[in-house]
Amino acid sequence: MSDVSELSQAVKSHDITGEAPNTMKINNLSTIDELIEIHLTTISDTLCIRIDNPSLKEVQFEDRLAMIVDVEYSDHKNCRLKRLILQAKFKQADSSIVAINYRS
C-alpha cells in the first residue's frame, strides 16, 4: 500500500507543464490517483504526459483514449513476454532469433 501512496505523491509533485504542480485540476489528480490505486500506472503516466499537451487538445476523445489504451496494451504485452521468458529459464534469456549465426 505504501508503494501506491509513493507513486501518487510522485505523480502529484511531477511538473509536466512547467507550471506549479497544484495547478492541475483536482479532478485529474483524483483520476490519476485512482488509476495508480488499481495498478494502471502506465495509463496514469501516459495521461500525465498528454493531459496538457496543446497538440492533443483538438484530437477527439475517442482517439485520445485509443492512444492511451495502445500504450497500456503494449506495456502489458511486453511485461507478459518478459515474464514468460524469465519463467522459461533459458540459458541465455536475452538471446534473440536475429542474433543466430547461420554460418557455423
Q: In this predicted structure, what is the pLDDT of residue 73?
A: 94
What burial class does residue 44 get, using C-beta atoms within 10 Å of its C-beta: 0-12 exposed, 13-18 middle, 19+ buried?
Answer: buried
Q: Mind listing the pLDDT tens digit of every residue in the chain (104 residues)? A: 444 454 445 445 544 444 444 445 667 788 888 888 998 888 888 888 887 788 888 888 888 889 889 999 999 999 999 899 888 887 876 777 888 888 86
The answer to whether 36 and 44 have CB atoms below 8 angstroms apart is: yes
Residue 27 identity: N
Q: In this predicted structure, what is the pLDDT of residue 4?
A: 44
Give dist(CA 93, CA 85) in Å, integer.
Answer: 6
The three-class DSSP label of residue 97 is helix
Ordered alpha helix ranges (H), the chain:
2-13, 26-37, 41-50, 61-88
